[in-house]
Structure 1
Amino acid sequence: MLPRINFEGKKVTGKLIKAVYLGEDENSKTLQNLIDYHSRKIEKTLAPGTIKNFKITEGYLFNFLNKERKTSDIYLRELDYKFLCDFENYLISYYPKDHPKAMSHNTAMKHIQRLRKMVTLAYNMEWIDKDPFRRWKNTFEKREREFLSANELSNLETYEFPIERLERVRDLFVFSCYTGISYVDVMKLTLNNISTGIDGNNWIFTKRQKTKTPIKVPLLEPALELIRKYGNHPMTMITGTLLPVITNEKLNLYLKEVAILCGIKKNLTFHMARHTFATTVTLSNGVPIETGLSSWVIQKLRPLKSTQGSGK
């Protein structure tokens, strides 16, 4: 005997009856169905790093289902406010492998934020009748963004590393300190990205992979020196890039060694280079970053390099 079916004003056809009976209609979509659809949707529209982050969130979701709900999948209609609260509690008490402490609050919120984007997609496609996030508020803890001081940057630039790989990692970090360019964008820079600006100086012209927004940055002398240094390096000759290519994971891992050798007590990450550019290299010299760094800025910052190198 067929179960009672609510067709909700839809035109009843044999195909519809079969889909409802077999659980293949939109009201029977599961979390796995949503993740599969979302993965296909973002496959060619988002940056590889963003896609990777979604994969990590999906992994936590299914780990949560297996451990806390004793199941491998759930219907989307089962997503509710309690599910979100339970998932949050699971995340903030989770100890990632090889980490000394549990996941931070802000990291947990990032995972829930990604889940929200997927659920919003399901809601807009009418796969669910109610948005479980309608009363949910993501709360992020404010943190001071760390950057290197002029002295720390000088010590980093002048330190003699006994291992070549650490020297290369240092150089990549310093290049970002003087350009403000992110890891993923530094890795794909080639000679084609260097042109002469209207001020007659060399500039880097590219686009941010993450946002597709244009990047126009003057090549300050310290960054230009590094490009010259690696111009004929075997690694750059193979890749055709301005600087040696290294994975983000290894880069940030080796930066820990770099920090120890240079006596830097801060948690040195490649992203800190962008904050150093915005603060120590520009704002600390009275230059608003939104000005685009005119030729006057280049002339203003060159003495900074020579002063740091002299230890004054």
Structure 2
Amino acid sequence: MKSTLSILYFIRKYQVKKNGFASIMIRITIGGEKVQFYSRIEIEPLKWDQKAQKVMGRSAEAKEVNNNLDKIRMQLYTAYSRLLGNDDYVQPSKIRDIFLSNEEGSTLRYQFKRHNKHYEMLAPNTITHATYTRYELTLKRLIEFMEHQYRISDIQLHKITPEFIDLFFSFLQEKYKCSHNTATKFIQRFRTIVSYATDTGIIKTNPFNLYHISFEKTTRVYLNQQEINAIWNKKFATRRLDQVRDIFVFSCYTGVSYIDLCSLTRSNIELGFDNRLWIKINRHKTHQSAHIPLLKIPLQIIKKYERQYNDEAIFPINSNQKMNEYLKEIANICGISKKISFHVARHSFSTTVTLGNGISIETISKMLGHSNMKTTQIYAKVTDLKISQEMEKLLDKDFK
């Protein structure tokens, strides 16, 4: 006896992921027998119309998701018709298995591109564009590795082994001279794709369960007060170095990261409750608020650029790559042997400017816009000067 196929899309509103998205589930019913599984599509729960079984609105994201749902429905009906031609009764689990074992959908390249396309739609509202580009670069490196190692440009997800992962790690270190930690970040992004495929039933076993990922401890570079002063007081012959110096020193005294400086505008400078000017932003990386009182030097820098630029943006910002190139030049001119990148300014703010002057780790964490205190503890190092100041209290103490 033939039974009718019923397909239902729904989301589990109370199973929202950390990114604020929920998976769209598929429930297939035939003759009272049901099976449900992941569609491999995620959305924000508030955008879902359960009655219509689709995403509300006419945005590009809504059209993309709804078109994909229509395609999935057609795939399921096609599988049902094919199975029905061989038997009077079709089990829902067989339709599910055909859908999940789709050859194209179970390859690394397909899943990576699908993930990256989803991230591209989210940027810059939910994730940063930099995060999207890092995933794009990871896919590019994986394709290069597969072509080099196996003479292929794609692989079935179930064929990925711990050996494949380890060889990719070695490839990154040998060809691109990646440090251990940089190569590990590539592996982490690779793992995200494979773990998602495991969670949604595309593959049964995650090869990363047998592969250990670890970061090496590194010494974070920061400038001491003498080095910050040397850069700030130096007279540069070119305008480009003068601008980069100003923006770098501004970050040394505010802790504002490069990506947040790029979008820093005059509207982010507000008069606080204490009648002083503050920077008030939401960080791109963590989406946490960061409120930083402006000290004398950053105020001087802001006023300098108010006179030069009649624009909402506070600073003329070069690319991060250019900034780092110019900072190396500045370090050489100032006689600083440390390897300086723009992020060193943020380290210097947390270590020299704040912690070295007695600011609590809790206050530093709030100003840096960290979502976790452990992150701040990585940045903030106890300097020799701080040790000397603290131990001075004991110099005249008579221990008895």
Question: Shorter chain as normaliser: what TM range?
Answer: 0.7 to 0.9
Closer, same or farther: CA 265–292 of 1 in aligned 2, 3 Å = closer
Over the matched positions of the two proteins, sequence identity in percent amounts to: 37
TM-score, structure 2 normalization: 0.65
Question: Does the 8 Å contact 1:109/1:140 carry over to 2?
Answer: yes
Query: Superposed, which structure 2 residues align to 1:177-256 within 5 Å?
Result: 177-233=252-308, 236-238=309-311, 240-256=312-328
- What is the letter of the counterpart of residue 100 of structure 2? E
What residue number does 2:346 align with? Answer: 274
Q: Which has the higher strand share?
A: 2
What residue number does 2:236 align with? Answer: 161
The higher radius of gyration belongs to 2
The alpha-carbon deviation at position 139 of structure 1 amounts to 1.5
Question: Does the 8 Å contact 2:280/2:292 carry over to 1?
Answer: yes
Q: Distance in 2 between matches of 1:78 and 1:16?
A: 27
- What is the letter of the counterpart of residue 339 of structure 2? N
TM-score, structure 1 normalization: 0.83
Question: Does the 8 Å contact 1:174/1:273 carry over to 2?
Answer: yes
Q: Which residue among 76, 79, 100 is the counterpart of 1:26?
A: 100
Question: Does the 8 Å contact 1:216/1:292 carry over to 2?
Answer: no
Question: Does the 8 Å contact 2:277/2:293 carry over to 1?
Answer: yes
Greater than 3 Å deviation, 4+ residue runs: 9-12, 15-18
Q: Distance in 2 between matches of 1:223 and 1:147?
A: 18
Confirm whether residue 86 of structure 1 aligns to residue 167 of structure 2: yes
- What is the letter of the counterpart of residue 245 of structure 1? I
Q: Which residue among 131, 140, 150 is the counterpart of 1:50?
A: 131
Q: Distance in 2 between matches of 1:15 and 1:178?
A: 68
The alpha-carbon deviation at position 41 of structure 1 amounts to 2.0
- What is the letter of the counterpart of residue 93 of structure 1? E
- What is the letter of the counterpart of residue 153 of structure 1? I
Q: Distance in 1 between matches of 2:364 and 2:217?
A: 27
Q: How big is each residue's C-alpha offset from its partner over 1:89-148, in whole Å with a ceiling of 9 and x where there is no partner?
A: 212212x3xxxxx21111110100110111111111211111111122212110111100
Confirm whether residue 13 of structure 1 aligns to residue 80 of structure 2: yes
* Greater RCO structure (CA 8 Å; 6+ sep): 1
- What is the letter of the counterpart of residue 359 of structure 2? V
1:172 aligned counterpart, secondary structure: helix
2:192 aligned counterpart, secondary structure: helix
Unaligned runs of at least 5 residues, structure 1: 1-8, 97-101, 295-312
- What is the letter of the counterpart of residue 119 of structure 2? I
The alpha-carbon deviation at position 15 of structure 1 amounts to 5.1
Q: Distance in 2 between matches of 1:77 and 1:293?
A: 42
What residue number does 2:186 align with? Answer: 111
RMSD of aligned Cα (Å): 2.3
What residue number does 2:155 align with? Answer: 74
Q: Distance in 2 between matches of 1:228 and 1:158?
A: 17
The alpha-carbon deviation at position 237 of structure 1 amounts to 3.0
- What is the letter of the counterpart of residue 53 of structure 1? R
Question: Does the 8 Å contact 1:159/1:262 carry over to 2?
Answer: yes
What residue number does 1:39 align with? Answer: 116
